[in-house]
Structure 1
Amino acid sequence: MRALAIATFLGLALGYSAFYLVFPNVSVPASDEASLPIILGLLLLAAVLGGLLTEDLRSSVIQAFLALPIGVVIAFSLAMSPVATGFLEVRADDIFSFVVRLPIPLYLLVVPLYSIFGVIGLLIRERFGFRSADFLRPSGDRHRK
Structure 2
Amino acid sequence: MNRWITNVVQRGVSDLNLYTNVSIKSIRVYVHIFPEEMFFSVTLVKLKLRSERYVYWDKSFLPMLKSLDIDSDLILFFADFLEIIPSFLVLEELRIHNLEWDKADVTVSSASLRKLSLHCTSCGGLLNPRSVSFDTPNLLSFDYSDLVAEDYPLDIS
TM-score norm. by structure 2 comes to 0.23
Q: TM-score, normalised by structure 1?
A: 0.24
Structure number with the higher helix fraction is 1
Structure having the higher strand fraction is 2
